[in-house]
Structure 1
Amino acid sequence: MATILDIARLSGVSKSTVSRVINNHPHVSEDSRTKVMEAIEKLSFVRNARGVHLRTQSTKTIGVTIPDLDHPYFSPLVGMIASKCRNVGYKIVVFQTFYSIEEEYEIYEKLTENELDALIITHTLLSEQEIKQRVRNNVVLICNEPLQTRHLDVFSLDERDAVYSSTQYLLKEGRNHLLMCMDEEITPLQQQRWEGFKQAHLDLNKICTIQQKVSGYATIEEGLLLGDEIFSGQCNYDGILAGSDFLAAGLLSSAKKHGVSVPKELSIIGFDNHSICLTTFPALSSIKNQTELMVKDLVSCLLDRLDGKEFATVRKVYKGALVIRGT
């Protein structure tokens, strides 16, 4: 018995296009529709109700990729996405990539096999071209990762500007020996943060070296460990930009343990402005992102794509804001 895949191969179009023709979807070109109908006739394709449900009907399920569910940023981000999707009748399935390209490939395969209606990528190690080769014409949106694209919708924070502005603030306050603490340095997002950090120094005629960067830290526990390394000897830093509020909280606790006065001797700025900032003493300064607005815009665009609406690729970049508190 011929399948949708057989029809797609013979007609030279995607499986999703075949599905749209079979279900009389309006957004199909006449040329593609003709090719599909000719292939159906040649293959004597019989539309099976159960098969159509499995292959072409909506699963009402959206996939979301994240690198690590325990990550202090991605966990609440997924919660927001799940809530918004649930309100419009969709459930989500969360896939952890563990910073693995092979894991990403497996997730994209689930999308092309119609196990999902769409995929939201919050982190990737691939280029747009590599992603498009894997997902073909399926609905895919980028959330959080500042991927440079021409064909995929992207919703992300201006990471470079957020770090640039905060770094300049510290330098203008007289903090001349800054440390930038990063998450996984291999991602475009973290690279943009480092670029912002370096540019802020350059624009104020300050020296910035590779020694002012550490990577692989994100949690409270990692902040405590890093702080013990930094503060147990002679601390040469008078300002730290932490990649997360949880890392900043760990650094603050370690500084207190080692007798480093915050903010008199050392300033600390976190990232994401989580509520943990209000529980420390002194309260943590942080960079506030626009996650709620970003997710709202993302889901709105997602629904339009699922409805088959055609419009130019969307790219929305949100500005962060430095929230000054006690550190």
Structure 2
Amino acid sequence: MSILYLRCFMVNIYDIARLSGVSKSTVSRVIANQPYVSEEKRNKVNKVIEELNYKPNSLARQFRKKQTNCIGILVPDLDHPYFSQLVGMLSLRCHEKGFKPVVYQTFFNRELEKEVYAKLQNREMDGLILTSTLLTEEELSTYVENHFVAACNEDFEGKYFSVFCLNEEKAIFDATMYLLNKGVTTLGFCSDNLHTPSQQARLRGFISAHEQKGINYNESLVFKQIATIEDGIQLGQSLFEGPVRIEGIITGSDFVAAGMLKSSAEKHIRVPTNFSIIGFDDHPISLVSTPPLTTICNQMQEMGNDLIDCITKMIKDQQAIYTKKVYEGKLILRQST
């Protein structure tokens, strides 16, 4: 069958292999520009491809590779101010890199989280971003190893996936030490979900600062499931009406801190004269509160940019090369302390 005759019909790699005198796998490697093909065979294949004006079927190639051009983003709760802001930024960066973001909410449910890993293993996505997890790194390894995965926030070792995280422990240690050094010694600590590694790291920083100063922290002033403005308002109301004397608080977010500010104003508690408040994330709300909030910059933008650059490169190169980068939080002093 002549090359001229074949031009009139749909050509496939079997035809190219027969006319080139090489195997089908060699043709596939030449088309994919892969190594381990001799120059002689590569030239033979390319000559036939040129003569036949052969164009690889990109849709068929995508199906064979099971590429979806999608990146999953696993998030516990989009109602959480930090995660909604983070997912928005990550989604935009995915689009800019030519990938479609697919968001999966787990609502801090282990079984729902595992369902997302099953989708990853079934190749319903090209890669997965973990913004938070209830699983240990060893548990995660059974689900994500050899897949293109990157995690942010949680300080994992990075043996099975890439990790981009804030040094949460040091950030809270520095904030707590700042207040303790000012003589604000009866302090509260807020967390949203204390079971996550990042929140445990924050609590360790809070406790370590007290230990270094030789001051006992009050376990009854460690508050869980505090995540929203409303939570901050309610917590403030209960604290300012209660019998326990408290001089300041390290909150888990600027939204919680803003709620505390509102309740302190309602109870005529002067900030920072009688009560000091530190937020977290350096969200714009910290600038418009009265007074403006002292807070911790979480390096979200830099961390998100680095993460997306990493996972998209792994997907495009088809190489799971893992990396880890830890960012330092920065205490931003304003008028609430």
Deviation of 1:100 (Å): 0.9
Aligned to 1:286: 295
Deviation of 1:49 (Å): 8.9
> How far apart, CA to CA, are the structure 2 residues paired with 1:280 and 1:88?
36
Aligned to 1:78: 87
| Aligned equivalent of 2:162, options 143, 153, 157 | 153
Aligned to 1:241: 250
Which one has the largest radius of gyration?
2
Aligned to 2:124: 115
> How far apart, CA to CA, are the structure 2 residues paired with 1:90 and 1:50?
16
Deviation of 1:128 (Å): 2.2
Deviation of 1:52 (Å): 5.7
- Whether the 8 Å CA contact 2:146–2:160 is kept in 1: the answer is no
Q: 1:25 to 1:72 in 2, by over 3 A?
A: farther
Q: 1:286 to 1:307 in 2, by over 3 A?
A: same
> How far apart, CA to CA, are the structure 2 residues paired with 1:206 and 1:165?
15
Per-residue CA deviations over 1:85-113 (Å, capped at 9, x if unaligned) read: 11111110110011111011110111111
Work out whether 1:261 is the aligned partner of 2:270.
yes
Deviation of 1:66 (Å): 0.6
Deviation of 1:127 (Å): 1.9
How many residue pairs match? The answer is 288
Q: What's the secondary structure of 1:114's corresponding residue?
A: coil
| Aligned equivalent of 1:163, options 148, 151, 172 | 172
- Whether the 8 Å CA contact 1:27–1:308 is kept in 2: the answer is no
The equivalences for 1:20-169 within 5 A come to 26=34, 53-54=62-63, 56-169=65-178
Q: What's the secondary structure of 2:313's corresponding residue?
A: helix
> How far apart, CA to CA, are the structure 2 residues paired with 1:186 and 1:124?
10
Q: What is the TM-score normalised by the length of structure 1?
A: 0.83
Shifted more, 304-313 versus 294-303: the winner is: 304-313
Q: 1:200 to 1:123 in 2, by over 3 A?
A: same
Deviation of 1:53 (Å): 3.8
Aligned to 1:195: 204
Q: 1:165 to 1:299 in 2, by over 3 A?
A: same
Per-residue CA deviations over 1:2-32 (Å, capped at 9, x if unaligned) read: xxxxxxxxxxxxxxxxxx99x958499xxxx
- Whether the 8 Å CA contact 2:282–2:297 is kept in 1: the answer is yes
> How far apart, CA to CA, are the structure 2 residues paired with 1:319 and 1:141?
19
Q: What's the secondary structure of 1:125's corresponding residue?
A: coil
> How far apart, CA to CA, are the structure 2 residues paired with 1:56 and 1:244?
42
Per-residue CA deviations over 1:269-317 (Å, capped at 9, x if unaligned) read: 0000100011111111111110100011111111221123658531100
Q: What's the secondary structure of 1:229's corresponding residue?
A: helix
Q: 1:117 to 1:238 in 2, by over 3 A?
A: same
RMSD, matched Cα? 2.2
The amino acid across from 1:72 in the alignment is P
The amino acid across from 1:173 in the alignment is K
The amino acid across from 1:112 in the alignment is Q
The equivalences for 1:307-326 within 5 A come to 307-308=316-317, 310=319, 313-326=322-335
- Whether the 8 Å CA contact 2:186–2:218 is kept in 1: the answer is no
> How far apart, CA to CA, are the structure 2 residues paired with 1:134 and 1:180?
34
- Whether the 8 Å CA contact 2:144–2:160 is kept in 1: the answer is no
The amino acid across from 1:169 in the alignment is Y
Shifted more, 163-172 versus 97-106: the winner is: 97-106
Deviation of 1:234 (Å): 3.7
> How far apart, CA to CA, are the structure 1 residues paired with 2:331 and 2:92?
27
Deviation of 1:217 (Å): 0.3
Aligned to 2:4: none
Q: What's the secondary structure of 1:307's corresponding residue?
A: helix
The amino acid across from 2:247 in the alignment is D
Q: 1:101 to 1:251 in 2, by over 3 A?
A: same
Deviation of 1:147 (Å): 2.2
Deviation of 1:204 (Å): 1.1
> How far apart, CA to CA, are the structure 2 residues paired with 1:53 and 1:134?
24
> How far apart, CA to CA, are the structure 1 residues paired with 2:60 and 2:226?
47
Deviation of 1:144 (Å): 1.5
Residue identity over aligned pairs, in percent, reads: 40
Deviation of 1:138 (Å): 1.5
